[in-house]
Amino acid sequence: MHVDLKKELTGSGRGRFGAALFLLMVVTATFAPLLAGYDPTAQSPLAFQSPSLSHLLGTNHVGQDIWSQLVYGARTSLLVGLSVAVLSTLLSTIIGTSAAMIGGWYDRIVMRVVDALIVIPIIIVLILVAAYLQPGLWVLIILLSLLGWQAGARIVRSQALSLKERTHLSAARCFGGSRLYLLYRHVVPDLGPILLVEFIYSMRRAIFMEAGLAFLGIADPGMISWGMMMREALDFSYVNAWLWWLLPPGITLSLTIVSITFIGYSLEPTMEPRLRGEAHA
């Protein structure tokens, strides 16, 4: 059975909504310099301004334009989300498939490492490491990727193991195909749907984690991020600014995560029957 991703995505209301919303975020992030109007880091004497035509969402405590920060914050969120998704899915794929294809001692060692990483509460480790490193954007991306592949690797491995026994892979072996060939020509493409779901969820997780860390104030303070905005806004809850300072980043973050979740939901059902290995006519 062929999976027509586009059809599945646009086939349901949720899928359409998620896709449209996500697209909006991507466009915003891409064209941030055009949409912002101000340098989001530029300070000005005009602090605590209410929304006006010159400052759509007013300014913060150091006179930065909140709308510009919101727009640039989308950049950070999506950059972290996509980069971590790419890296951790890549790690999951490499580690999961190699464990499945090579087997033996390699498989056992890798899987024990995965088990260990799964039982360790990642968020605690992340907070500790981040607090110590005060990571910038790229260190944060690498950190999130390194701590986010294990669950995916386990799923990939178990699916690759069942794929390995499928007849069309036996057939490819009988043409003289090497393990590497089987991997890149059959296993990984066959895992495509799983990897896509894995990609979407690790993106969601990464965006959430980045916002969380920034909110806790343990990321690089120079970074423009929705989490950071919310943290700063919270400190000034006694002024009325929370309405246009705290809520907008909170809402955009929620919408981004909701859009990704909806995309994941709408794609998931099409993957499941195949992943369970049902016959395809």
Partner 1 sequence: MLKIEDLRVSYGTEPILNGINLEVRPGESLAIIGESGAGKTTLGLSIMRLVEGTMRGRILLNSANLLTLSEQAMRDIRWNQVSMVFQNANSTLNPVHTILDQVMEPILEHHRANRPEAQRQASHLLTNTGLPSDRFSAYPHQLSGGEQQRVLIAMALANNPGLIVLDEPVSSLDAASRAEIVVLLNRLRRDHTFVVITHDISTAAKLADNLATMYAGRIVELGPAQEVVSRPRHPYTRALLRSYPNMTTVKDLQGIKGRMTRPVTGCSFHPRCTQAIGICAAETPPLVPTRDRQLACHRGGIVTLLATRNLSKSFDSLKAVDSVNLDIEAGETLALVGQSGSGKTTLARTIMGLLEPDRGDVYLEGQKVANRSKDFYREVQIVFQNPGESLSHRLSVLELVREPLDIQGIGTPEERDRRVRQALQDAELPASGGFLNRYPHHLSGGEMQRVAIARALVLDPKLVIADEPTSFLDPGVQAKILKLLLNLQERRGLSMLFITHDLALARKISDRMAVMLHGQIIEQGPSNTVVTAPTHPYTQGLVKTASALHSESEADAPLEQPRVETRSG
Among left, alpha and beta (phi > 0; psi -120 to 50; other), residue 176 is left
The conformation of residue 51, written as its DSSP 8-state character, comes to P
Residue of 105, 132, 276, 280 interacting with partner 1 (CB under 8 A):
280
Q: Where are the beta strands (DSSP E) in 3-134?
A: none
Residue of 119, 175, 238, 276 interacting with partner 1 (CB under 8 A):
175
Q: Check if the beta carbon of residue 183 is closer than 8 Å to that of residue 197.
A: no
Q: Does 279 bind partner 1 (CB under 8 A)?
A: yes
> Cβ of residue 4: shortest distance to partner 1, in angstroms?
12
Q: How far, in Å, CA of 159 to CA of 193, rounded?
A: 11
> Cβ of residue 171: shortest distance to partner 1, in angstroms?
5
> Cβ of residue 2: shortest distance to partner 1, in angstroms?
7
> Cβ of residue 100: shortest distance to partner 1, in angstroms?
16
x-or-dash pattern for partner 1, window 154-173, by CB under 8 A? ------------xxx-xxxx
1 or 42, CB closer to partner 1? 1
User: Within 13 Å of residue 228, how many CA atoms lie on the same side as its CB?
Assistant: 21
- Provide DSSP, 173-240: HHTT--HHHHIIIIIHHHHHHHHHHHHHHHHHHHHHHHHHHHHHT-S-TTS--HHHHHHHHHHTTTST
Residue of 51, 177, 212, 217 interacting with partner 1 (CB under 8 A):
177
Q: How many residues touch partner 1 (CB under 8 A)?
A: 20
Sign of CA dihedral 29, 30, 35, 38: positive
> Cβ of residue 273: shortest distance to partner 1, in angstroms?
13
Q: Give, as ranges, the residues between 1 and 40 that touch partner 1 (CB under 8 A).
A: 1-2
Binding site for partner 1 (CB under 8 A): 1-2, 166-168, 170-177, 181, 186, 189-190, 279-281
